[in-house]
Amino acid sequence: MQKSAKTHAYDCFAVIGSDGMSFRLFRDGVCSTYTDICKKYIKKMNTYRLFYCNIPSIRALKQSKIHTCKREKVRSKERTTIKDVAREANVTAQTVSRVCRNLGNVAQKTKERVLEACRKLNYLPNKTAISLRSGMVDSIAVVFDSLRNVYFSIMTDYINEEIAKHDYDIRPFFVRRSVIDSDIYLAAVSSGVSAVISFLEPADELESTVELYGVPMMVFGRRTELPNVDYVTTDDVEGGRLAAEELVAHGCNNIAFVGEAFGMTCVQDRLKGFSEGLAAHGKTFHTVVHTDWLAGNKEAKKMLEKSDGIFCFNDVFAYDILSAIDCSNKTIVGYDDLQSDLPMPVTLTSVGVDKRAYVALAVNSLFERIYGNNTSPVRQKYPVTLRHAVAPSERQDG
């Protein structure tokens, strides 16, 4: 005699996903996964549900009319609130909030009691709610314009490491513009960040916007003349000189510079140092726009093929050239020293810096602004060095 639904001893149950495809059978602690077998019965489902049954085997379950089984919604475990923690620790919700934000004026014993309650209840502070109350979050916006250039990824990773020392995190902002303007700055500020780091140069109109909203901004790797926008950059003029000296030392006479976006200060500064370095030895160079030869400009490519020395604005351009033309009789110098952070199949002579120390300088200068310890403009240039290419036989692991 079949038991009623109320007294049914269910042997197993199935969990079916909201897409009608994901299916899991649980029996005696064992989970098995299937697809499609219940699709026609649950097309209109929009939540996870439990299907209880007393079917003795997986095969029987697959053959059964699952839509006739008892079912009910699966409810997620309710999240612990700040009031739950306050009740457990016998304090006010405001005290819990102050402890979680590491603010002062809380007795040590009370703080320990609150932290113990947080651990016991697995409480996670709601950062969004905190930011709504304070108008600010412990995050720094990082603005960049290229997902292709791995340099931005490397430096953003260093930035993230450094600001984590201040218990902050980053909010990446990818934009398709060559400068950071008021719209981009305000988009970052409206998210509640405490400051903005930009790999892009600022538009002139940004001066009044930064003045109005007061959220500190640091330009990283570029110069700016805006009095209320700080910058930390590599010594690009010296980097250009080092590249020139390297090509001269290798006896190069037909020399080229490969770059783009020649309005950027970093391009102008590297060109300035490069030009002055070559001029000191009575040499000149011709310029090739990176996108020209990539787009199939035969004259640009021919110019590079005839050159015996090439200085590239960055390492990405240099590796493009190494893969596009025969460089066995050429000396190529890049910029950024990517190989110090990523293993490359071909090593490259490249101008670079101690990236970790370079980032630390920028981030620490920015936090001086955030904490109000500095009101003077930050104008810093970090010294560069030249790292020479290493032949495969000379490489050392580690």
Same domain, 258 and 340: yes
Classify residue 260: in a domain, yes or no.
yes
Q: How far is CA 380 from CA 47, 232, 239, in A?
A: 55, 5, 15
Give the closest residue to 256 by CA, choosing from 284, 277, 280, 230.
Answer: 284
Residues of the chain above pLDDT 70, percent: 75
Same domain, 188 and 91: no
Q: What is the pTM of this model?
A: 0.67
The pLDDT mean for the chain works out to: 80
pLDDT at 192: 82
Same domain, 306 and 178: no
Classify residue 7: in a domain, yes or no.
no
pLDDT at 9: 39
Over range 269-284, report the average pLDDT. Answer: 97
Estimate the share of the chain in helix, then strand, then coil, as percent rounded to the nearest 5. Answer: 40, 20, 40
Q: Is the pLDDT of residue 53 over 80?
A: no
Q: Do the beta carbons of residue 76 and residue 105 sit within 8 Å?
A: no
pLDDT digit string, tens, across residues 173-218: 999 998 999 999 999 988 889 999 999 999 999 999 999 999 999 9
Residues near 201 by Cβ (< 8 Å), separated by ≥ 6?
179, 180, 219, 222, 223, 224, 264, 265
Alpha-carbon gap, residue 156 to 172, rounded angstroms: 9
pLDDT at 51: 44
Cα dihedral 333→324→327→352 (10° resolution): 20
φ/ψ of 195, rounded to 5, equals: -165, 170
Positive or negative CA dihedral for 384, 385, 387, 388?
positive
Q: Is the pLDDT of residue 246 over 90?
A: yes
Classify residue 4: in a domain, yes or no.
no
Q: Is the pLDDT of residue 316 over 90?
A: yes
Which run of H or of E encompasses 32?
Answer: strand 30-35
Q: How many CB atoms lie within 10 A of CB 162?
A: 21
Same domain, 262 and 374: no
Classify residue 18: in a domain, yes or no.
yes
Q: Is the pLDDT of residue 244 over 80?
A: yes
Task: pLDDT band for 149, please (50, 70, 90 cuts).
Answer: confident
Task: pLDDT band for 146, please (50, 70, 90 cuts).
Answer: confident
Alpha-carbon gap, residue 233 to 270, rounded angstroms: 12
Over range 158-187, report the average pLDDT. Answer: 94
Same domain, 296 and 379: no
Same domain, 92 and 63: no
Alpha-carbon gap, residue 332 to 318, rounded angstroms: 7
Same domain, 366 and 221: yes
Task: pLDDT band for 295, please (50, 70, 90 cuts).
Answer: confident
Residue where a domain terminates, one of 64, 93, 125: 125
Domain that holds residue 94: 82-125
Which run of H or of E encompasses 225?
Answer: none
224 in helix, strand or coil?
coil
Q: Is the pLDDT of residue 38 over 50?
A: no
Cα dihedral 110→113→118→121 (10° resolution): -140
Task: pLDDT band for 131, please (50, 70, 90 cuts).
Answer: low
Q: Do the beta carbons of residue 274 and residue 240 sit within 8 Å?
A: yes
Which run of H or of E encompasses 231?
Answer: strand 230-234
Same domain, 110 and 178: no
Q: How many domains does the chain have?
A: 4
Q: Do the beta carbons of residue 222 and residue 200 sit within 8 Å?
A: yes
Classify residue 241: in a domain, yes or no.
yes
